[in-house]
Every structure is written in structure tokens, then in C-alpha cells.
Amino acid sequence: MNAPSSPVILLGYRPWRGALRGPWYGMWAIARSSLFLLLRRKMFWALYGVSAMVFLLFFYGQYLHSWLQTQIPDEPIRLGSGMVGATVKPKELIDIFRKILHLDGSGYTFRNFIKFESQIVMIVLALAGAVLIGNDFRFGSLPFYLSKPLHRWHYLGGKFLAVGILINLMITLPAVLLFVEYGFIDSWDYYWDSIHLLVGIVIFGALITIVLGLLLLATATWLRRTMPIIMVWTTLFVFSGGLSDLLVISFRLDSRWRLIDIWNNLYLVGNWCLQMDPATIPTPFQPRYSEAAAVLVVVCLACFAYLNRRLQAVEVA
């Protein structure tokens, strides 16, 4: 680890004569340190493994689906025998398969994929909040950061960068890989014809990064410990969904009551990004895309305002 003694002696203790890279580079250093801490957790790797499994399911599923389409005969085939047997057309079987999983490189594919991955990401973030940010406030590591030539925003920016890298490694990048893969399976025209999907994936990923990142920073700086953060995230993303279902479906209240569910809002705006028809959304009675987007903007502004207030008062006492 330690260098040979001669360069150390030559270096001694001298003023810096080069150009420092500035606080933006410091943000990257903060993000690296934060990710380093997270990547040492086995729990993270377990969840990342689940996330990778989902990706592989879609990745090979798309390939398999495409391959099956080229292999099926036109004639009907008989499945089973005797009383339990039935004659089915293979093409219809594939259609059912396609309708359920949507492994066809369409907006449905990416919508479903991002939905599954986001749920894992939310669990990861709820667990990582304390490690990434909360512990700095709780145990007093902040003086090490804040005694460096960094603004408080640079510190939070570094943490946000770490969260963003995490989210995009688990959501956006795999989704883009699926898009690329389907182009190879289908045809080169797919890339051009479905370019809006690629743009939608990137915007949806960015949206999830911004909303979840700001929410995590706000909740972690506020609550600091893992359990309270998990409880708040469960309330925000699980209980609010159940409550909105209860209000809209059981009590037949206005569909705008669904706006209390932040994940649903993200999902709706994601559908908007992927140019999906609102009628294709599985859960009934949904508010308009624009209303969901407005709520997300308000949530982000609220988080931003809270963080700004915290930062103005970040006094390491």
C-alpha cells in the first residue's frame, strides 16, 4: 500500500502547484466513497442479484419469444391426451405468451421491466439511505466533508450522484440494453422506428432518479436511521398505494385520490414518456398524466426546499 520511501521523501510536504479540479470533482469523490460503502454490504449484492435476475428474464425472454415465433408450425398441435388433451394453434399460444409478458420490445416491455426493477431499487434505497447519507449526520462524519473546499450543495450533489448511479445501473442501463438487444433480434429498422422508446426509457430513468434521489436525500437527512427511513418509504410507496386503491375503487372517490401514491404518479408519467395509451394501464380509474406530473414536480420542489433549508442550517453542532 505504501509507496517506496524515496518518492515520499522527495515529495515531503509541499504546496500544490497544479490546478485543483474544483468542487465538482469533489462531488465525484463523495459519490465514489458512498458507493464504496454500499458495495461492501452483502444485502446490497443480494438485491442487486434479484435485479439482475429480472433483467436476465427479460433479456433471454425476448430472445426466446422471438426464436419461438420462427419455430412454430402453422398447423394446430394437440397438447395432452384423452380427456385432458386439447388441440391448440401454436401461434395463439405465442400470442397469449406475448400478451402476458410483452417480451416484444414494445413500450409494454420497458414499462413492465422498469416497474419491476423500480420496486427492487426502492428497497435498495430504503436500506441504503442511512449508509449513504443518514450516518454522516447521525455519527458526525460531516466535518470531514464540510472542512473541505466544498459547498454543502456539493456534498448533497455527491450523494445524489451516488444514488443516481445506483438507480441508473439497476434501471436505465439494463432497459437500454434490452432496447439494443431487441434491435439485434428484430431488425435495424427497430432502432429508428422505436427511437421514441429509447428517449422514453432515458427520460423515465431520469425521472425516477430525480424523484427517488431527492426523496431519499430528504428522508435520510431528516430521519438518519435505517428503520425510520424504511417505515417512511413503506408509507410513501406501499401504504399510499393501498389507500388510494381503497379510496378510488372501494369508496368510489375521485380518481385524483390516486395522486397520493407517489409510485403510481411515477408510473403514469413513465407511461407518458413511453407514449403509452392511458387505457393500457392495468389499474383502473387513473388521473391524467399531466396531473401525476404536476404532483411529482410539487414533491420534488418540496424535497428541494427542505434540503435547501437543511443546508442553510447545516451546522455541525
**What amino acid occupies position 82?**
G
* Least distance to another protein, CB of residue 177, Å: 29
DSSP 237-279: IIIHHHHHHIIIIIS---GGGGGG-HHHHHHHHHHHHTT--GG
**What amino acid occupies position 250?**
S
Complex with another protein: residue 37 or 293, whichever CB lies closer: 37
Tell me the CA distances in angstroms from 219 to 79, 114, 249, one per residue in order.
54, 23, 30
Kindly report the CA angle at 66 between 65 and 69, in degrees rounded to 5? 85
* Least distance to another protein, CB of residue 221, Å: 16
Q: Print burial letters for 291-300: b (CB count within 10 Å at least 16), e (below 16).
A: bbbebbeebb
Complex with another protein: residue 20 or 279, whichever CB lies closer: 20
Which residues inside 62-101 make contact with another protein, applying CB under 8 A? none
Alpha helix locations (H) across 40-171? Answer: 42-71, 90-101, 107-129, 135-139, 142-146, 152-170
* Least distance to another protein, CB of residue 214, Å: 22
**Number of residues that this document lists for the chain:** 317
DSSP 178-190: HHHHHHHHS-THH
Sole binder of another protein in the list 150, 220, 232, 248 (CB under 8 A): 150
* Least distance to another protein, CB of residue 22, Å: 5
CB-neighbour burial class of residue 31 (10 A; exposed 0-12, middle 13-18, buried 19+): buried
Sole binder of another protein in the list 45, 67, 144, 184 (CB under 8 A): 144
* Least distance to another protein, CB of residue 310, Å: 14
Complex with another protein: residue 20 or 100, whichever CB lies closer: 20
CB 63 within 8 A of CB 122: no
Sole binder of another protein in the list 40, 91, 99, 309 (CB under 8 A): 40
279 binds another protein (CB under 8 A): no
Which residues inside 8-37 make contact with another protein, applying CB under 8 A? 8, 11-16, 18, 20-23, 25-26, 28-30, 32-33, 36-37
* Distance between CA atoms of residues 42 and 59, nearest Å: 25
* Least distance to another protein, CB of residue 163, Å: 17
309 binds another protein (CB under 8 A): no
Complex with another protein: residue 59 or 137, whichever CB lies closer: 137
Size of the site for another protein (CB under 8 A): 45
154 binds another protein (CB under 8 A): yes
Q: 86: part of which helix (H) or strand (E)?
A: strand 86-88
* Least distance to another protein, CB of residue 124, Å: 18
* Least distance to another protein, CB of residue 46, Å: 18
42 binds another protein (CB under 8 A): no
Residues forming the site for another protein (CB under 8 A): 1-3, 5, 7-8, 11-16, 18, 20-23, 25-26, 28-30, 32-33, 36-37, 40, 139-152, 154, 315-317
